[in-house]
Amino acid sequence: MTTTIKARPTLYKGIQMRSRLESDFAAFLDQSGAEWEYEPICFAGPDGQWLPDFCVLQDEDLIYFEIKPESLQAEQIDAVLTQMRVAWLTEPDAILQLVIWSYGDPRRSHTIMGFPPKGDTDLTWWHSEGAGESQVWPGMGQIEQLIRQMPLDELKRIVDATAPSAAGESA
C-alpha cells in the first residue's frame, strides 16, 4: 500500500528542503557515505527547465537526482524524464536519476537512470531498477528508436532467434 505524505518543508542538517521525502533521501545519501548538494543548479533550455533535487559526484560522474513519491503515476514518468533531459544541454555527460522514493524504506524504492547519447547516435538509454528487477525502461520511445537504427539484417537475426521454432510448436 502506498502512503501519500504531504510535502512539508523540512530542515535537514541546516538545509531547508521542500519535503520530508527529500530529507529522508538526504539521510539515505548520508548513510551511504555520499557527498551531495541540494538543488545545486537549475538547468534551462528551449523546451523548459529543471531543478534537480540532488547532485552527487561519484567516480568522476555527475549524477543528478529527481525524487518523487511512490504515488507518482506510471503515465507521469515519461513527462518527468523528458523535463530532466534539459540537463544534458549543459552537462552532456551527466547521469540523470528519477527516484521513486519509498519514505523510510529505501529497499522498496525504484530508480530510472538516464545515460546521455554517445557517439553517432542520438539514442538515450533509460534503465529501470527496483524490487530486484533491472530492465530497459519501456517508455521514452527508446526501444522503437533502437529498432529504427538497427541494420535490417541484425533485426532479422534477433527476430529469428527469438521466434518459436516449428519443431517446438508441434511438441
Residues 33 and 5 sit within 8 Å (Cβ to Cβ) = no
pLDDT score for 47: 87
Which pLDDT tens digits describe the chain residue by residue (171 residues)? 555 657 889 999 999 999 999 999 999 999 999 999 999 999 999 989 999 999 999 888 899 999 999 888 888 888 999 899 899 999 998 999 999 998 888 888 888 888 877 765 565 666 666 656 666 666 656 566 666 666 667 656 766 666 665 455 444
Distance CA 1, CA 33 (A): 30
Cβ atoms < 10 Å from Cβ of 96 = 25
Residue of 1, 153, 165 lying closest to 70 (CA atoms): 1
Distances (CA, A) of 75 to 14, 36, 103, 118: 35, 29, 21, 27
Query: 54 - beta bridge partners?
Result: 38, 65
Question: Beta-carbon neighbour count of residue 157 at 10 Å?
Answer: 12
Q: What is the assigned CATH class of domain 10-137?
A: alpha beta
pLDDT value at residue 64? 97
- Taken in order 118, 111, 8, 14, the sign of the CA dihedral is negative
| pTM attached to this predicted model | 0.76
- What pLDDT score was predicted for residue 91? 92
Cβ of 65: how many Cβ atoms within 10 Å? 22
The reported pLDDT for the residue numbered 164 is 64
The pLDDT, as a whole number, for residue 170 is: 45
